[in-house]
């Protein structure tokens, strides 16, 4: 099961990165990024979301164990 969890996590990470990169590329090619100048910052924040969620969950689990 641990291997399956790790594989799922890696696959999800690759898919997320591809989606975020594709979003930025499309926005640049369609000149949307000129109008939505905040988009790169939002994408950068979204890249950090999984790590932030996992960290918060880990902290809660550690607090529960105490």
Q: Contact 40/33 with Cβ under 8 angstroms?
A: yes
CA-based diameter of the chain, in Å?
52
Give the pLDDT confidence score for residue 1 in this predicted structure.
66
User: Quick check: 6 and 14 in contact, CB under 8 A?
Assistant: no
- How much is the pLDDT for 44? 94
Look up tokens 């890696």; give the residue.
10
pLDDT band at 61 (very low <50, low <70, confident <90, very high): confident
Residues 6+ apart with CB under 8 A from 27: 33, 36, 39
* Position 2 pLDDT exceeds 80: no
What percent of the chain stands above pLDDT 90? 50
Q: What is the pLDDT of residues 34-54, one digit of tens each?
A: 899 999 999 999 999 888 888
Q: Where are the alpha helices (DSSP H) in the chain?
A: 2-29, 32-35, 39-65
Average pLDDT taken over every residue of the chain: 89
């Amino acid at each position: 099961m641990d291997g399956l969890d790790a594989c799922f996590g890696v696959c999800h990470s690759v898919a997320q990165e591809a989606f975020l990169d594709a979003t930025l590329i499309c926005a640049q090619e369609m000149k949307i990024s000129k109008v939505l100048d905040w988009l790169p910052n939002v994408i950068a924040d979204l890249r950090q979301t999984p790590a932030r969620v996992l960290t918060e969950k880990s902290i809660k689990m550690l607090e529960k164990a105490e």
